[in-house]
Amino acid sequence: MAKQKKIPMRKCVATGEMRPKKELVRIVRSKEGEVSVDLTGKKNGRGAYITLDKDCILKAKKKNVLSVHLDAPVPESIYDELIQLAEKEKPSLP
């Protein structure tokens, strides 16, 4: 019997839910204080995970959760990028 691979779980900063890492997007703050969306999940720096869902992203933006977690100001463009990604991810209904 094949050993089942362990699925890495991460906590969404907006909802507090534990979800498989693949379902979340990592936002990272580099040593220089630069905040960016890390689609590879491999960038160096302090990371925070968020569910790729427009409501979650807007909730995080409203509560300023990302800047608190990353201890750095999060530019508006990061939230815009996340919302665009969330909208791209959702399969459009026929």
If we measure between CA atoms, which residue out of 72, 58, 75 comes closest to residue 15? 58
Residue 91 is which amino acid? P
Does residue 1 form part of some domain?
no
Rounded Cα gap, residues 48 and 40, in angstroms: 13
Rounded Cα gap, residues 19 and 2, in angstroms: 23
Taking a C-beta distance cutoff of 8 angstroms, is the pair 25, 39 a contact?
yes
Does residue 73 form part of some domain?
yes
What is the per-residue pLDDT for 90? 64
Label residue 6 by pLDDT band (50, 70, 90). confident
Q: What is the CATH number of the domain that holds 19?
A: 3.30.1230.10
Label residue 2 by pLDDT band (50, 70, 90). low
What is the per-residue pLDDT for 1? 58
Does residue 46 form part of some domain?
yes
Residue span of the structural domain in which 25 resides: 10-89
pLDDT at 93 over 60: no
Tokens of 77: 């463009």
pTM (2 d.p.): 0.86
Does residue 71 form part of some domain?
yes
Q: Read off the pLDDT of residues 30-80 as tens digits, 9 standing for 90 and up.
A: 999 999 999 998 999 999 999 999 999 999 999 999 999 999 999 999 999
Does residue 82 form part of some domain?
yes
What is the per-residue pLDDT for 5? 82
Does residue 19 form part of some domain?
yes
How many domains does the chain divide into?
Answer: 1
Does residue 5 form part of some domain?
no
